[in-house]
Chain A
Amino acid sequence: MMECIKAREWIHLHMDRSLDHSNEALLMAHIEDCDICRRDYEILMSIHQVLQSTDEVDLPSDFHETLMKSIKKRPKKRQNILFLKQLNIAAVIVFVLVFGLIGINNLNQNKSFNNDEVSEEMLSMSAITEENSEMNVAMDATEFEDASLSRASNENERSQKATSDSLLLEVDHQYGNDLLGVRYDEGWIIVMVGGILIIGLLIGYIKLKL
């Protein structure tokens, strides 16, 4: 004799037409004998029949038209997202171009300026050295060993060293300091700001799930 709990479980399988024949026979035998299970079975089957005989109703004639009208009236969320997407891409391109060009331009200018300064410095240094050697040649030629002239030559060397030191300091002051081994100046700052802005825009781009 099967239990009522099992019978209730099988009634659902019977409703779904997924109970095999042997178990179907067992269930029917139980229902014959058990008043409560028979009552449950009858109610569940009548519910099932009523629900299954439900007819589909037709759509109201204006249903589709109303739907399409309300969709067109609504704020076009997706189109706004599309616009934001395009705006974001455009902004990234503009920032990359503007900051990239400014940055590269500045770096090139500084590089060439530095090169000019160094070559000018080199030229002035060689001019001084030439003057000194001319003086030495003159001294050799006359074989005149004058102590005062030798002092003047030493002073000349010192002033030469001081000039080159001050030039280096000026270059440092004008074009940036050495910070953690990375040399930064105007160009680098612009590139860094541009980079931060681009990263910000990229985060915005990802946030929009594009």
Chain B
Amino acid sequence: MSDKSEQKLINNAVNGDSKAFEKLILPYEKKVYNIAMQMFKNEQDAYDASQEVLIKVYNNLDKFKFESAFSTWLHRLAMNTCIDEYRKRKRHLEHTTTMEVRVGLEDESITRQFIDHNLTPEQEVLKNETVLEVHDAMNQLKEDQKILIIYRDIYGYSYDEIAKILECNLGTTKSRISRARQALKDIIIKKREQTAS
């Protein structure tokens, strides 16, 4: 979609044209749902959170002043909403069940996402173990670090794009992502040490 046609759709959507909004949002729906899916690792939560993101886009579209790309603004909303919803659910989960129990229940659906048909059965088992290890570590990561890993390492957004989404400079963005990776690695090391002892 060209910038001009996107701008026209935004203006029409702001003036109450729901068809224009539909056309505008359609290319982003899958991406937002997938980001939420990586954040929550749960279809229902991902569904609800991504719906919430897109409803927020609709409700706040009149506040979009074309100072950035529409996709940047949308991902900023997605990032913030995912972090907020994740915190809410984490608080709720602390009262109901532990993350570990939840992870155990979802192991099968997680490993299904990483199937590599070129691997031998032994390699497959090893890979699944690594996948679960990484997934477990991701779940223990702080929500603001987790979302950065999702954008950078899962979906390959550039540092520049992420810096624009975060509204901070490139250096800060790079060091924040680097710290998030370090934190993820430290969680895995700690877990391995605990298992070994």
Contact = CB atoms under 8 A, between A and B. Distances in A.
Contacts of B131: 50
Contact of B114 (A15, A47, A53, A58): A53
A69 B5 CA distance: 25
B154 A54 contact: yes
B185 A47 contact: yes
A76 B50 CA distance: 20
Contacts of A79: 16
Contacts of A46: 130, 134
Contacts of B37: 57
A9 B21 CA distance: 43
A56 B130 contact: no
A99 to B, nearest CB: 31
A9 B181 CA distance: 11
A43 B188 contact: yes
A63 B30 CA distance: 9
A59 B154 contact: no
Contacts of B50: 63
Nearest to A68: B22
Contact of A78 (B14, B30, B177): B14
B110 to A, nearest CB: 10
A44 B185 contact: yes
Contact of B30 (A9, A52, A58): A58
A161 interface: no
Nearest to A49: B130
Q: Considering residues A54, A58, A66, A81, which has the most beta carbons from chain B within 10 angstroms of its beta carbon? A: A54
A12 B181 contact: yes
A26 B32 CA distance: 40
A40 B185 contact: yes
A74 B55 contact: yes
Interface string A1-24: 000000011001001100000000
A60 B185 contact: no
Interface of A: 8-9, 12, 15-16, 39-40, 43-44, 46-48, 50-60, 63-64, 66-68, 70-72, 74, 76-79, 81-82, 209
Given A46-B130, A55-B113, 19 more contacts: A12-B174, A46-B134, A47-B184, A47-B185, A47-B188, A51-B134, A51-B149, A52-B153, A52-B156, A54-B113, A57-B34, A60-B43, A63-B47, A64-B26, A67-B29, A67-B51, A78-B14, A78-B15, A82-B16
